[in-house]
Amino acid sequence: MDAALGESEETPPGGTAPTFRQAPLALGGGQITLACALASEERAARKGGARTTRVGLGAGLTLPEGRMVGFGLAGALVDGLEPGTVLTATRIVDETGSTLWEGEPLSVPGARPAVICAATRVVDGAFERAGLAARTGADAVDLESGRLAASRRLVGVVRAISDTPGRPVGRLARASRGDGRVRWGVVLHSFVTEPRTAVRAAHDARRALAALELAAGAFRVRRS
């Protein structure tokens, strides 16, 4: 699940990673691909009419050519972000709080501006979420934004909250393969061993995916 930042500029000795600042973007100005980690996120984006590709967990698969928007689910680090809340990034930070990307938030109806933390591992427990929020100033966390930002072709990030400090994912956090497909054995084990958490998490994920489908309409491909 670790995101490889191989496409970024070299960090100067003793320095910090370079920050990519995105100029204001008109969504109608050229082709944009929504980069999704999971197959379920990719389906939601396509149902919304957007051009999309799957990049896998941590964006470990081949990235698309041209301009990209990170698009998918995220975990809330702070209270007040309920499942289904859509966020549009103003800044992406790493796990130390260093800025990887900064830009104008994409205009998506109903979306809230937010800072996204690009993590290298799953963050689920309430204590761990609180610590990451305090350290980075981020509102939500994902696994892909680091590598997407390093490509220097990222124009924004749109995420729907699927889990929160008070509504964790539990074992279902491990239910995705590296290529974004479902590990059904993990899903079954989760529903058998922690049914209440699994049922709640599945419900929250469906709510978030429905919100993503609506958000994808902002990137709908115009047919001539």
Instruction: Please give the span between the terminal C-alpha atoms of the chain, in angstroms, as a whole number.
Output: 39
Residue 122 amino acid letter: V
Q: What is the pLDDT of residues 96-148, one digit of tens each?
A: 999 999 999 999 999 999 999 999 999 999 999 999 999 999 999 999 999 99
Q: What is the pLDDT of residues 74-108, one digit of tens each?
A: 999 999 999 999 999 999 999 999 999 999 999 99
pLDDT band at 31 (very low <50, low <70, confident <90, very high): confident
What was the pLDDT predicted at 221? 87
The 10 Å Cβ neighbour count of residue 157 is 31
What DSSP assignment string belongs to 125-160? SHHHHHHHHHHH--SEEESSHHHHHHTT-EEEEEEE
Domain boundary assignment for the chain: 29-219
Q: What is the pLDDT of residues 36-58, one digit of tens each?
A: 999 999 999 999 999 999 999 99
Q: Are strands 154-163 and 67-76 parallel, antiparallel or unpaired?
A: parallel
pLDDT band at 21 (very low <50, low <70, confident <90, very high): low
pLDDT band at 9 (very low <50, low <70, confident <90, very high): very low
Mean pLDDT (whole number) for 1-13:
31
pLDDT at 180 over 70: yes
Mean pLDDT (whole number) for 25-33:
65
Fold of the domain spanning 29-219: Rossmann fold (3.40.50)
What was the pLDDT predicted at 166? 96
Mean pLDDT (whole number) for 189-214:
97
pLDDT at 6 over 50: no
